Structures are given as structure tokens and as C-alpha cells.
Structure 1
Amino acid sequence: MSAAVGVLIVDEPQDLCPTVRATLEHLPELQTLHEADLAETELDHLVALVFIDARRVGDGLAQIGALKERQPRLRVLAAFQALGGADLGALLAAGTDAVIARSGSPRDLSAAILALAAGQERLSGPHGEPQPESGEALGLTPREAEVLRFLSAGFSNKEVARRLALSVRTVETHRLNLRRKTQTGRLKDLVSLARQLGLAPVLEESRAARH
């Protein structure tokens, strides 16, 4: 990507590692913006890095919705520590394009932003090499993360489809996308990935409800 990517940092937490913002501000490929800049910027690629506070998910959803309404071509990368399935579904409905663990390194966050701006389905490292082993840099969509949460708990495609009100074929498609992005379909790898992404486990009563 030759043109710079405009990056809007939203709801930056006070305890965020200071090197994160410093990295984003000094990379030549990125140009940090303020909300007031959105209406006037001539940059072709715009990404909002929205930090989601698990205690105030509703605030993050409102921010995403407002930003998308003001700038429809803005792509949204949501960074979080841990979210449940309902929250992931709400992020999807609000217009989130990809999710990433907040614990990702500045390099992971930068790579995610650049890949999202370029329309890539799979995120890569700074030199373009794939990093399937890193759950923090996979660029899963909120729906894929939601499906992963159930698959990692041992639910079948049919059970996932019923609980998320999706068709079995749609779940199968998401599962294929997860396999392509992670290069694995083994249950233990899915469990490990879900933990890396901080996805809240399926509650025991939800598991019991299957029977």
C-alpha cells in the first residue's frame, strides 16, 4: 500500500503501553488522526482502532456506530481483553470489521491496521510473512471469533448454528475460514487460540443445555 493509512485511536485506556501510540505515530505508513479530521481527510484508507472496555461495551458500540455513520468507508479494528459471545455479536452488528487482543504488541497492532486497510483477510508480519501461530494477529471477524468461542468448547457445527441462529452451511464456512487463517482445525489448537484472544468460555449451563 503506497498511500498512508489514517488511524483514529478511540477510547485509549490509561494503562495502555506508551510504546503503542508512539509506534503508530512514528510509522511512515500510518498517520494518526483526530475525530475532527475525518470529514476533511483526503486519505484513501481509514482505520479506527477502538479499545473496548469489557465493563462499558455499550459505550464502545455507540462510538463505532457513530463513527461509521460519519465516515462509512472507515474500517474498524476492535481491541479487547476479554469479551463474551453476545458482545462479539453486538460488535459485528455495530459494524466492526476485525478484532484483535489488546495484549498484542505494537507490531501486531500496526500489522493488523495495515492489513485491514488493504482489505486482506489474513494478517501478516511487518515483512509480509504469515503468522498463523499468533492469535493476536489473525484478524478474525467478530462472527468468526464468536464461532470460535463455541467450537473451542466442543460444540458441533449443528449446535453452533442453533445457538447463534445461523445456518449449518454458514457455520461450516466460518469454520473453513478459521482453518485457513490458523492452519489448523484441531480442537486443542482452537482452545489455545480462544484463550490467546481472551474469549470468554462458554458457561457450563450452556454446555449442559445441549443434552
Structure 2
Amino acid sequence: MSAAVGVLIVDEPQDLCPTVRATLEHLPELQTVQEADLEEAGPERLVALVFIDERRIADGLSRIGALRERQPRLRILAAFQALSGAELGALLAAGTDAVIARSGHPRELSAAILALAAGQACLSGPGAEPAAESGEALGLTPREAEVLRFLSAGFSNKEVARRLALSVRTVETHRLNLRRKTQTGRLKDLVSLARQLGLAPVLEEPRPARH
């Protein structure tokens, strides 16, 4: 059996759900570590989980940059509540390997850490990874990523439903899930997010809405 993945928790918020830390500490595949352990363990088995405070995002960017400089091969996962496309881009530019919404289930967070330690679900810029893998970093399912691709192109729920052979109600459900996981529903943020995730653009223009 391979060694457990070491998880360095950085800037843990005071209001963090106790279930999150309990999950990270009790899963046999994971082991929480201290910053001093960065020099001891193999970097390919270490993931830094950095919690981003959107009110002080510059501090988070500085912390990520310092971690990346200290341990270039360290995998870095940023957890956020709400980010604009520009802020997401800044995180990636600072050295973040993947991002995930704090609102997700603790098991989703753990799965993202394990995937990152295994070299999966890495975000390094537009088009760097297939959409299915990039979406996993935010906890998106492949279908949600596909819905995001159409919504970011300006298609209505009805048009998305027709294109993907889904019911309008199903698309509405996917849209609600996207809002919960990405903490945004604004078109400009969806466009930026789709670009950051490397989702292929929809080339055909959306039809004008019928009144």
C-alpha cells in the first residue's frame, strides 16, 4: 500500500466546518502535516490546501507564491467561497494547481486532494487539460461542465436543453448546481471560468430568445 498523502492546511478559516478537518484527519489515505514537514516528505506525496479569503486575496496569492518557491513540486489546491474569473486566473498564475469550492462536500475535497497527488485534475491555464478533468477540480461533473460550456456562450436554458437532449428542468438543476459550486451565476464570470477550465467554445451563435 502506498504512503498516505500529506495534507498541509494553510490559512484555515475559523468558521471551517468541523467535518472538513475531521474527514482530512481520519481518512487512511490522508495525513495532515505541519509546514516543517515540507522538507521531510517527498513533494509528490504532499498537497497544500490553501483556504482563500476573498477579502484579502493578495495574502493568499503571497502564501501560494511562497509555498511554490519553497517547494516547486508541491501540489497546491486552493479552496474558495466566491471568485471572479480574474481572481481565478491570478491564483493559477501564482502557482495554484487546482481550485475547489469550499461549499462542496468534505469527501469531494478529499477526492480532489487525492487526484491532485496522483497528478490529475491540474489547472495550469486555458486549454491545458480536457474539460472533464479540469471540471473535477471544482467538483463539476462532466455534464455540468458541458452545460457550463453552453451557458457561457449565452445560450438560454431552453436552448441548452435542446442541444444536449435534456429537459429544461434538468438544465435548471445543473445551473443551480453550477451556481452552488462556483458561487457565481453572472455571465461574465461563467465565460471567464469556462475559459480557465479549457472548455471548447461553442462556435454557433445562440438563437435570440423568443418572447
Say whether 1:58 aligns with 2:92: no
Q: % of aligned pairs identical?
A: 66
The alpha carbon displacement at 1:3 in A equals: 2.1
| Contact map agreement 2:43 2:74 (CA 8 A) in 1 | no
Quote the residue 2:97 is aligned against.
97
Say whether 1:88 aligns with 2:88: yes
Q: Secondary structure of 2:48's partner?
A: strand
Write the mapping of 1:160-175 to structure 2, written as runs, cut at 5 A.
Answer: none
Quote the residue 1:167 is aligned against.
none
User: Gaps spanning 5+ residues in structure 1: where?
Assistant: 123-131, 142-147, 157-185
Q: 1:189 to 1:154 in 2, by over 3 A?
A: farther
| Contact map agreement 1:81 1:101 (CA 8 A) in 2 | yes
RMSD (CA atoms)? 3.5
Equivalent AA in structure 2 for residue 12 of structure 1: E
Q: Secondary structure of 1:55's partner?
A: helix
The alpha carbon displacement at 1:27 in A equals: 1.4
Q: Could you tell me how far apart the structure 2 residues matched to 1:201 and 1:150 are?
A: 13
Quote the residue 2:117 is aligned against.
117
**Which has the higher mean CA deviation after the structures are superposed, 7-16 or 191-200?**
191-200
Quote the residue 1:200 is aligned against.
184
The normalised TM-score by structure 2 is 0.64
Q: Could you tell me how far apart the structure 1 residues matched to 2:182 and 2:45 are?
A: 28
The alpha carbon displacement at 1:7 in A equals: 0.5
The normalised TM-score by structure 1 is 0.64
Q: Could you tell me how far apart the structure 2 residues matched to 1:62 and 1:15 are?
A: 22
Q: Secondary structure of 1:38's partner?
A: helix
Quote the residue 1:32 is aligned against.
32
Q: 1:72 to 1:101 in 2, by over 3 A?
A: same
| Contact map agreement 1:153 1:201 (CA 8 A) in 2 | no
The alpha carbon displacement at 1:84 in A equals: 0.5
Write the mapping of 1:105-144 to structure 2, written as runs, cut at 5 A.
Answer: 105-121=105-121, 138-140=136-138
| Contact map agreement 2:54 2:80 (CA 8 A) in 1 | yes
Equivalent AA in structure 2 for residue 152 of structure 1: L
The alpha carbon displacement at 1:196 in A equals: 2.5
1:106-159, CA deviations, whole angstroms, 9 ceiling, x for partnerless residues? 21111110011111239xxxxxxxxx8xxxx82159xxxxxx978634359xxx
Quote the residue 2:71 is aligned against.
71
Say whether 1:15 aligns with 2:15: yes
Quote the residue 1:6 is aligned against.
6
Quote the residue 2:153 is aligned against.
154
Q: 1:65 to 1:90 in 2, by over 3 A?
A: same
The alpha carbon displacement at 1:39 in A equals: 1.4
Q: Could you tell me how far apart the structure 2 residues matched to 1:2 and 1:42 are?
A: 12
